A and B are shown apart, each in its own frame.
Chain A
Amino acid sequence: MSKKILLEHAHIEGIRFYETYRKNGGYRSVEKALKMSPDDIVEEVKKSGLRGRGGAGFPTGMKWSFLAKPEGVPRHLVCNADESEPGTFKDRYLMEFLPHLLIEGLIVSSFALGSNATYIYIRGEYAWIPDILEQAIAEAKANGWLGKNILGTGFDCEIYVQRGAGAYICGEETALIESLEGKRGNPRIKPPFPAIQGLWMRPTVVNNVETLAAVVPIINMGGDEYAKIGVGKSTGTKLLSVCGNVNKPGVYEIDMTISVEEFIYSDAYCGGIPNRKKLKACIPGGSSVPILPANLLLKTAKGENRMMNYESLADGGFATGSMMGSGGFIVLDETQCIVRHTMSLARFYNHESCGQCSPCREGTGWMYKILKNIEYGHGKMSDIDLLWDVQRKIEGNTICPLGDAAAWPVAAAIRHFRDEFEWHINNPVEAQTRNYGLAHYADPIHVPTV
């Protein structure tokens, strides 16, 4: 079912500006929250079951409760708006159209965590959005929601917007913190975790844009009510950014009870695959998560319908499942070539590795080169096993999860589409002219009838 909580007012003319936003119920959660104790807010967020929307899906309330609170040391909240994962563009939509929703969430969360200086670290390529955010911050401040002694509670809070300089790795929370401190964006070696030593070695919470925006409805309706939306441990609503071969790409808000099939084919969402083509494969949660062939996407290995939620998408582990990830839903129809697609992801990770640790620095380049060979007709059969072995040597052996994120797409492509790789190697000339892979992976169930 389509359920709009975050995007409820997104269609309203002028919602980007304070007056309209406030008239539509904006900043109510701040009024409510600032009368509560910070611990009670954390408790509400815990009850809501909200899970981090940045990719890992870690329970937000739990993360907040880990924050160290040493006497006399300032704490910080950092909003991760670096959104650079290929296929993911939901935060951009939120910030562009509902900047005040994010600011509102940030004020409540800052109060809960005791952060007097809160930062939004935004992807450099989102060049026009900092202005939007800064305008919203200025409006909020002019109306007494930010600054000194907010609503007479004695709570002070400033929000600063910092632009990144074009590095995917600066979305990794410790690299983000380094970058925010003005250093090279290399991920830190953990432990210590940011909750103990983060920004300027102070206790810090880093959360995704959507996570922090979701705090607003949680406070407004109460954690228990929020937890009733969705299913199991997938509570609340989730934003998905859809791209690729669908009739209606874009950002959708769903409650996590619908099936993948409904999401792809229903007119309320993606509206099916264009040009009467069949569904071949899909990356359900941003470029880092494993790609699934159509049959495993729509049904789990057990034959159950696959649903759009954390548990169901991950059902079967990496052998037959994938992940909710960051919600970047990339759909490939029967004419898409998995080898080319995998190569292009490998190129991305090769380009974005920070280069600190040897397996990721060297391995990402190696994988890209092998894939390039296969794609351009110079591959050998042994390259497939080599590729498998290289990704295996990277996975789990690196400082930060970028190494894993580079390895997983390659592993999943080989796992599910091995004969497409073989076909490329056996048909080097055709593979280049035709430039698509084997259609037999395409969804056997759904032939759209128009």
Chain B
Amino acid sequence: MSEQIKVTIDNITVAVAPGTTILQAARQIGGEVTPPAMCYYSKLEGSGGKCRTCLVEVSKGSEKDPRPMPKLVASCRTPVSDGMEVKNITSPKVLDARAGIVEMLLINHPLDCPVCDQAGECHLQDLSYEHGASSTRYEFDRRTFEKEDIGPYIQLHMNRCILCYRCVYTADQLTGKREHGVLDRGDHAAISTCIGKALDNDFIGNVIDVCPVGALTDKTFRFKNRVWFTKPVDAHRDCPTCSGKTRLWMRGDEVYRVTARKDKWGEVEEWICNTCRFDKKQASDWKIEGPSKIDRHSVIAQGHYEGVLKPQNFLPEVIGRNPKLLMNIHDVSGVNKNDIELSKLNGPAHSSDFDKK
């Protein structure tokens, strides 16, 4: 066992292995303390650092060099040092910057969740629900692209893409060939294949799973059902290409969709092959293990009675006490105190009446 080092995030201290990033350390704690991550993906080398939603404030660099870091840092790409102190939800600066990032991510996003297939399991939806504003200050036309089929199974709807590069790393690292990447730059950059080529290698379906938004969707499932009406169950089959461990999204006995299993951070546990994903749509193709464990906050949890994971509440630890109402009316005002008989007052009650005793 190597030496463990200590890092404090939002007043909660954890011991982690050297080289751990702030985000991974925060994930060890869990709950609200964990910054949202739209681009980082622990299974994809080189991912992260781009979306900037995971920015945190390092208020103390380390035990050796306690100076704070001058700028907010991307927690997904910043390793911890011993004695480091990090502020996430306890830093107004972080919350302000994050609200800004969410706004930026949304200004060119279509916001047509009602007709988007990802709705219900979209990380951008969750992110804007938790950190976004209720209205937009953006008054211009949104950028638009044509929908594009990349291969027989996958549709790319670039309008919804947040350029997290996850699919690029996936295509690069899982499939050995570089035929999927980013063309052009800035706000006109687009995911594309080289060039307009169909992607048809065995594992390319995984790009659908890593995509945090509805930019890459499964053509065998598109518009067949809303995800929250389907029930996720874990299943497996003997597959010569991949582990065969998948999640089936069922309604009754019908398999609507097959995906990889995801952990509570929305990351794929084991990559699956195209055959499992696109071709095995009969319940009889699979050995069903039972209902998948789903986070309670997820829309998918609705109508799901087994295996719902209740998120842990860390607020008491973060703020050092139990959360309470901003103002406890019982403490502040004597109105509810029994010893003042309101009916005996001459005229309307004033605060001074309550101070008398």
A binds B: yes
**B77, B137, B181, B187: which has the most chain A beta carbons within 10 Å?**
B187
Cβ B186 vs Cβ A353 within 8 A: yes
What sequence of 0s and 1s flags, for each residue 49-72 of chain B, a beta carbon within 8 Å of any chain A beta carbon? Answer: 111110100000000000000011
Q: A169-B185, A356-B163 are in contact. List 13 more A-B contacts (CB 8 A).
A: A354-B185, A355-B163, A355-B182, A355-B189, A358-B53, A358-B162, A359-B52, A361-B186, A362-B187, A365-B108, A365-B187, A369-B140, A386-B137
CB pair A366–B138 under 8 Å, yes or no, is: yes
A67 proximal to B (CB < 8 A): no
The total of chain A residues at the interface (CB under 8 A) is 28
Q: Which chain A residues lie closer than 8 Å to B15 at the CB level?
A: none
State whether B72 touches A396 (Cβ < 8 A). Answer: yes
A196 within 8 A of B: no
Inter-subunit contact B186/A358 (CB<8 Å): no
CB-nearest residue of chain A relative to B98? A397
**Which residue from A169, A357, A365, A393 sits with its C-beta under 8 Å from B97?**
A393
Chain B residues numbered 76-123 whose CB sits less than 8 Å from any CB in chain A: 77, 97, 100-101, 103-105, 107-108
Within 8 A of A (CB), among B301-324: none
Residue numbers in B under 8 Å from A262 (CB-CB): none
B185 surroundings in chain A (CB, below 8 A): 167, 169, 352-355
In the complex, per-residue mask of A53-77: 1 if CB is within 8 Å of any chain B CB, else 0: 0000000000000000000000000
A397 touches B140 (CB 8 A): no
Q: CB < 8 Å: which of A184, A352, A386, A397 contacts B186?
A: A352
A residues less than 8 Å from B100 (CB atoms): 359, 392-393, 397
Contact status A398-B181, CB under 8 Å: no
- Which B residues are CB-close (under 8 A) to A396? 71-72
Find chain A residues with CB under 8 A from B51 CB. 357-358
Among B49, B97, B101, B108, the residue within 8 A (CB) of A399 is B49
Check if A189 sits within 8 Å of B140, measured CB to CB.
no
Q: Does B48 contact A (CB under 8 A)?
A: yes
CB distance from B81 to the nearest CB of A (A): 12
B187 nearest in chain A by CB position? A365
Chain B interface, DSSP helix/strand/loop, else mixed:
loop
The residue from A358, A362, A366, A369 contacting B50, defined by CB atoms under 8 A apart: A358
| Contact of B97 with A358 in the complex, beta carbons under 8 Å | no
Contact between A354 and B186, CB atoms less than 8 A apart: yes
B208 at the interface (CB under 8 A from A): no
Does the CB pair B71–A366 fall under 8 Å?
no
Tell whether A358 pairs with B182 under 8 Å between CB atoms, given A189-B48, A189-B49.
no
Residues of A within 8 A of B52 (CB): 357-359, 397-399
Determine how close the nearest CB of chain B comes to the CB of A369; give it in whole angstroms. 5
Which residues of B sit under 8 angstroms from A189, Cβ to Cβ?
A: 48-49, 74, 77
Give, as a whole number of angstroms, the nearest-CB distance from A133 to chain B. Answer: 27
Q: Does A351 contact B (CB under 8 A)?
A: yes
User: Which residues, 162 to 214 on B, are CB-close (under 8 Å) to A?
Assistant: 162-163, 165, 181-182, 184-189
Query: CB distance B77 to A358 under 8 Å?
Result: no
Offer 6 A-B interface pairs, CB within 8 angstroms, sorted by A.
A355-B163, A358-B53, A366-B104, A396-B71, A397-B55, A399-B74
A362 near B105 (CB under 8 angstroms)?
yes
CB distance from A377 to the nearest CB of B (A): 15
Question: Complex formed: what's the CA distance from A356 to B77 in Å?
Answer: 15
- 10 closest Cβ contacts across the A-B interface? A393-B100, A189-B49, A355-B189, A353-B186, A362-B104, A365-B187, A355-B186, A358-B104, A369-B140, A396-B71
Residues A184 and B163 in contact in the complex (CB < 8 Å), given A189-B48, A386-B137: no
Min Cβ gap B34→A in Å is 19
* A contact residues around B188 at 8 Å (CB): 355
Is A350 on the interface with B (CB-CB < 8 A)?
yes
The answer to whether A351 and B186 touch across the interface, beta carbons within 8 angstroms, is yes
Which of B49, B74, B104, B182: most chain A Cβ within 10 A? B104
What 1/0 flags go to A100-119 for Cβ under 8 Å of B? 00000000000000000000
Taking CB atoms, residues of chain A closer than 8 Å to B107 are: 362, 366
Given A350-B187, A396-B71, decide whether A359 and B104 contact each other with a Cβ distance below 8 A: yes
Interface membership of chain A positions 358-386, coded 1 if the CB is closer than 8 angstroms to chain B and 0 otherwise:
11011111100100000000000000001
Chain B residues with Cβ below 8 Å from A362 are 104-105, 107-108, 187
Q: Enumerate chain B residues within 8 angstroms of A361, measured Cβ to Cβ.
A: 104, 163, 186-187, 189
Contact B187 A184 (CB under 8 A): no
B107 to chain A, nearest CB (A): 5
Interface centre among A356, A358, A392, A398 (most CB of B within 10 A): A358
Is there contact, CB below 8 Å, between B77 and A393?
no
**Measured between C-beta atoms, what is the minimum distance from A406 to chain B in Å?**
10
Which of A356, A357, A397 is the one whose CB lies under 8 Å from B72?
A: A397
B172 to chain A, nearest CB (A): 11
Q: Per a CB cutoff under 8 Å, which of B97, B184, B186 touches A364?
A: B186
The closest CB in chain B to the CB of A402 belongs to B186
Give the shortest distance, in Å, between A261 (CB) and chain B (any CB): 34
Chain A residues 298-316 with CB under 8 Å of chain B are none
The listed residue with most B CB atoms (<10 A of its CB), out of A189, A351, A364, is A189
Tell me whether A359 and B138 are in contact in the complex, defined as CB-CB below 8 angstroms, given that A365-B186, A366-B107 are known contacts.
no
B140 contact set on A, CB distance < 8 A: 366, 369
Residues of A within 8 A of B189 (CB): 354-355, 361
Q: How far is the CA of A353 from the CA of B163 in the complex (A)?
A: 13
CA distance A366 to B137 in the complex (A): 10
State the CA gap A275–B106 with chains docked (Å). 48
Whose C-beta in chain B lies nearest to the C-beta of A393?
Answer: B100
Instruction: Given A359-B52, A362-B187, check contact A184 B104 (CB 8 Å).
Output: no
Residues on A with C-beta less than 8 A from B162 are 358
Question: Are B182 and A184 in contact, CB atoms less than 8 angstroms apart?
Answer: yes
How far, in angstroms, from A392 to B97 measured CA to CA in the complex? Answer: 9
Chain A, residue nearest B163 (CB): A355
Chain B hits for A399, CB < 8 A: 49-50, 52, 74
Closest-by-CB residue of B relative to A352 is B186
Write out the residue numbers on chain A whose beta carbons fall within 8 Å of the beta carbon of B181: 184
Give the docked Cα–Cα distance between A364 and B53 (Å): 18
- Output the nearest chain B residue to A404 by Cβ-Cβ distance: B71
Residue in chain A with minimal CB distance to B162: A358
The distance in angstroms between the C-alpha atoms of A365 and B48, with both chains bound, is 23
Q: Which among A167, A353, A386 is the interface contact of B187 at CB below 8 angstroms?
A: A353
| Cα–Cα distance between A378 and B107 once the two chains are bound (Å) | 20
In angstroms, how far is the closest chain B Cβ from the Cβ of A358? 5
Q: Smallest distance from the beta carbon of A160 to chain B beta carbons, Å?
A: 24
Q: Provide the bound-state CA to CA distance between A366 and B107, in Å.
A: 9
- A375 to chain B minimum Cβ distance, whole angstroms, is 15
